[in-house]
Chains A and B, each alone.
Chain A
């Protein structure tokens, strides 16, 4: 895993990206798509006049962070999706104009087998409330046995997170094919609800620096509700 400094801005925007390239790509592709389906245009139109007021508002958000979290908690989900099935599944969901929860940032990896525990731990370290790892169904992995490795890595990650005392429900493994746009949307909705019920992650940094864009994104997410 390499990350050069010039990619770090993109990475910060993703807030929890261990694979910067996939992350940047995902932002340009799947994430806005998701936001769009969730009425981002509405949000943008509404927000236009208040754009200048965003700095003080951000400060306010930081201050009453805890209160706000309790009032309207929008979980931050990181999704690691393999290039050949699950990422394409997210595309299918978008192409089919499915309406589903936009509270996630998708990071494309070549294969779910690449999702080392370090990726997931890093996502939680940077403030994720939940992490979804997703790949091809067994037998369909582009690299034949990559998703079997993914299971091993996932089990290891689960053990580490269990010792750390993180709720089991914040981590999930799913097999989603390129055709299963509906499944992708359903899994995301379900997972967002599940993590939403658990509340903010205890391991997340207290003061999360939200880049402007991420704030708009969060607003779009709460509007979609």
Chain B
């Protein structure tokens, strides 16, 4: 705990913390609390309020910021906002040493704040993918190149979703602006309490896409989407462009795409926290899948009630995270589906990791695919080739 942790009273007020009834519904809902008996959001609130200072940083790191508790709270307490403010108040760089993966991602994010950064992050762009250097439609690929380079032993392929998104956009006659100069959105720094580096990333990213003439920025990663949409304005003011998650975009434009109409394997959809609960986007991915002819077998807890993948911004990972992941995978398999479609690279990483459990083995194994990949797999080439000429031409230069 930082010695002089100061909590922004305004944030506390805004989070309605003083309205807490101590009813304990949050703890009853909390996934972590169900497995980890020493963790309780209700207790964190009441202890912090009576002590007048934030809880211990280690306890704060446990929360997944999944927002399930906020959904249940009868008093409108925004516990996730509270967690964020507490983490900011108790921020301690040395703590990164206790983070998952030894703090490698914290370091990567901070390294990406460097001014003269010249990344080599477009190695995935193959000849068939058309991207532009400037134009009105941009595509934010996020940290996926780093994820794939880091999680090799988990056979993670988050870039597949990125490539599929470009494929879909190309099929719509759009050559998205993809820039090697884009940086991490800073989501995990923000949620880890590192405000300064987050702000640097926010400024640089917004300036970049503004400079490239982007009017609409598309995201595959819901964390990036949510961060740009909800958290960047606090740093840079109103965004000079519109942000859209690929699922929203697909739901709108799916009718312009041609699909092969085949019936593939049964899939189920896992709602990422930042998409469903935080952004309220529940129908769009389902509409996109339906348009592509993909049938979705829903899990018991879907949409805003979906379980979290138990990744929490690379702050903490423990045996409880694994239990949550296994529970979710069991739920997914119970639908009879063999493929789990999600729309977040991190959900993919965390579920793939859980599936490597040698004790459970095949019991929880299933295919994992990104939403864009699931949709792109159904595109018909011939017709989409015709389509490329039809839609309103975008002023993209090659």
Contact = CB atoms under 8 A, between A and B. Distances in A.
Contact of B149 (A11, A163, A165, A205): A163
Given A2-B97, A3-B97, A156 B152 contact: yes
Contacts of B110: 125
Main secondary structure of the interface of B (DSSP, over half): helix
Interface residues on B, range: 20 to 34
Contact of A121 (B97, B108, B116): B108
B265 interface: no
Interface stretch (A22-30, A101-109, A111-119, A178-186): A111-119
A1 B97 contact: yes
Interface in A97-137: 116-119, 121-122, 124-125
Interface in A117-162: 117-119, 121-122, 124-125, 156, 159-160, 162
Contacts of A63: none
Given A8-B94, A203-B114, A203-B117, A118 B103 contact: yes
B149 A3 contact: no
A67 interface: no
B114 A117 contact: no
Interface in A182-200: none
With most chain A CB atoms within 10 A of its CB, the pick from B98, B102, B114, B120 is B114
A159 B117 contact: no
B4 interface: no
A2 B102 CA distance: 9
B145 A163 contact: yes
Given A5-B94, A203-B117, A164 B111 contact: yes
A20 to B, nearest CB: 9
A11 B120 CA distance: 31
Contact of A202 (B102, B117, B145, B146): B117
A96 B92 CA distance: 42
A160 B118 contact: no
Contacts of B118: 165, 202
B96 to A, nearest CB: 8
A66 B117 CA distance: 17
A122 B107 contact: yes
A202 B112 CA distance: 11
Given A124-B111, A202-B114, A118 B102 contact: yes
A118 B94 contact: no
B119 A163 contact: yes
Interface of A: 1-5, 8, 11, 18, 116-119, 121-122, 124-125, 156, 159-160, 162-165, 202-206
Interface of B: 92, 94, 96-98, 101-104, 107-108, 110-112, 114-121, 123, 145-146, 149-150, 152
21 contacts: A1-B103, A3-B97, A8-B94, A116-B102, A118-B101, A118-B104, A122-B107, A124-B107, A125-B110, A156-B150, A156-B152, A160-B108, A160-B149, A163-B119, A163-B121, A163-B123, A164-B117, A165-B117, A202-B116, A203-B117, A205-B114
Given A165-B119, A202-B114, 12 more contacts: A2-B97, A116-B102, A117-B150, A121-B104, A156-B150, A156-B152, A159-B149, A162-B120, A163-B119, A164-B108, A164-B119, A165-B117
